[in-house]
Amino acid sequence: MNIVLLEDVKALGKKGEVVKVNDGYARNFILPKKLGVEATPKNLNDLKLQKANEAKVAAEQLAAAKELGKQLEEASVTLSIKAGEGGRAFGSVSSKEIGKAIGDQLGLEIDKKKIVLNDPIKSIGSFEVPIKLHKDVTARLAVKVVEA
């Protein structure tokens, strides 16, 4: 029996694949647990339409991420921090503070988890901070840290 998988099934296949399984396995496991449906022409057509819709949504998300990336590349944010002698900061600037500054100064909502900081910024100066907006789009934001 051919089955269209509705969810990932270990050792069988990924969601959206059409797989051939034994009739008993399909009737007793796959169909009752709603892990798949029989591969009828209607279900195959529904699968094709669903994949086309997912591709369209993914393309829209990629375009939106590229547009946001352009805005971030052209912009910069300024953060102030207390510092001692030689520009050495008391404390540090984290991704949470950078995300809040982007919201306050640029009016854009960026999740702090998308800001890629390997180590917190602990000195005064200008820095390029990568922001991962999409799996294919990473923007670089100019962050200036000044003494308070």
Write the pLDDT tens digit of every residue in 22-73.
Answer: 999 999 999 999 999 999 999 999 999 999 999 999 999 999 999 999 998 9
pLDDT greater than 80 at residue 88: no
pLDDT greater than 70 at residue 101: yes
50 to each of 7, 35, 47, how far by Cα in Å? 14, 16, 5
Percent of the chain with pLDDT over 90: 66
Rounded to whole angstroms, how far apart are CA atoms 148 and 146?
6
Domains of the chain: 2-63 (3.40.5.10), 65-147 (3.10.430.100)
**Average pLDDT over the chain, rounded to an integer:** 91
Percent of the chain with pLDDT over 70: 99
pLDDT class for 128, splitting at 50, 70, 90?
Answer: very high
| pTM across the whole model | 0.70
Q: If you search the block for the tokens 């009828």, which residue do you land on?
A: 40
